[in-house]
Amino acid sequence: MSSQLTPIDMAKFIAAKQATEYVEDGMNVGLGSGSTAAWFIQCLGEMVRDEGLKIKGVPTSSQTAELAREVGIEIVSLEQVKWLDLTVDGTDEYDRNLNLIKGGGGAHLREKIVATASERMIVIADATKKVDTLGAFPLPVEVVPFGLAATKGLIEETLVGMDVLGRDIKQRMHGDRPFVTDGGNLILDLHLRHIGNARLLGFILNQVPGVVEHGLFIDICDMVIVGHGDGKVTVRDITNDTSEVVQYDVRDDDNIFADIAE
């Protein structure tokens, strides 16, 4: 298998595999969206099939729900379980304080709801997602369709007083049509390049009429698991102020996780 994966895919895969170590039988688990979270869902599916793992998954997007069902994970709604033991998701960026930018796939509203309804949130990523300061990745802001131009104008006015390097705002498109979220809303991508005070920006954006949610995840992530193409995984738990390195034995066969040395 390893010979078939790019270094980035390998990094995502082993980060996802490490994250399964925190899943226990009987848990209610939030299932993130995106390519890295998809690896985690596939790993969980193998555990359900091969080890008899029994969990209930709450998906953060329709695509996630479809994949989870395909691999045999029982899907429930957040309303049914009310609270989650754990959420595992990817990220577009994270900083040293484990603050995030999410929403590259347009699912950040549901992702934030699910993450904040969990005892713990674990982010899985490859090393390219780490940044000194958030903002290189465009910040997604989900807005209602009504009054779109007015909402965009208010956001532009808000950015004038913020510590950012760019203020370009583009509506996200899907081909020649506006991108529409699972909630029926639109997305404005804020190309800020640098966010000097992410906490303040997030607070102010939440005050703009028409804004449903933004992609800044502040003080939500508890742990980040970062995979590397050479089989190394770094695990940082900000809650317990711990870090560790796990080395997977990456080999060109079907059992690339046979040997693990911590």
**Are residues 221 and 238 in contact, defined by beta-carbon separation less than 8 angstroms?**
yes
DSSP for 87-121 reads: EEE--SEE-TT--EE--TTS-HHHHHHHHHTBS-E
Out of 51, 74, 111, 156, the active site residue is 111
Q: What is the DSSP letter of 40?
A: H
**Beta-bridge partners for 191:** 168
β-sheet with 56-59: strand ranges across: 74-75, 56-59, 28-31, 86-89, 121-126, 223-227, 232-237, 242-248, 260-261
Based on the residue annotation, tell me whether 111 is a catalytic residue of this protein: yes
Q: Answer whether 33's CB lies under 8 Å from 61's CB.
A: yes
Asked if residue 64 lies in contact with residue 37, where contact means CB atoms within 8 angstroms, the answer is yes
- Residues 135 and 195 sit within 8 Å (Cβ to Cβ): yes
What does the pLDDT profile of the chain (262 residues) look like in tens digits?
445 789 999 999 999 999 999 999 999 999 999 999 999 999 999 999 999 999 999 999 999 999 999 999 999 999 999 999 999 999 999 999 999 999 999 999 999 999 999 999 999 999 999 999 999 999 999 999 999 999 999 999 999 999 999 999 999 999 999 999 999 999 999 999 999 999 999 999 999 999 999 999 999 999 999 999 999 999 999 999 999 999 998 765 444 443 333 3
Instruction: Compute how many other C-beta atoms are within 10 angstroms of the C-beta atom of residue 4.
Output: 8
Report which DSSP code applies to 127: G
CA distance 199 to 213: 14
Structural contact between residues 187 and 141, judged by C-beta atoms closer than 8 angstroms: yes
- The reported pLDDT for the residue numbered 262 is 31
228 in Cβ contact with 5 (< 8 Å): no
Query: Would you state the pLDDT for residue 4?
Result: 79
Look up the pTM and report it. 0.93
Q: What gap in Å lies between CA 65 and CA 74, rounded to an integer?
A: 10
Q: What is the pLDDT of residue 3?
A: 52
Domains of the chain, each with CATH number or no CATH: 2-131+219-248 (3.40.50.1360), 139-211 (3.30.70.260)
Burial 72-102 (b: 16+ CB within 10 A, else e): ebeeeebeebeebbbbbbbbbbbbeebbbbb
Q: What gap in Å lies between CA 162 and CA 146, rounded to an integer? A: 26
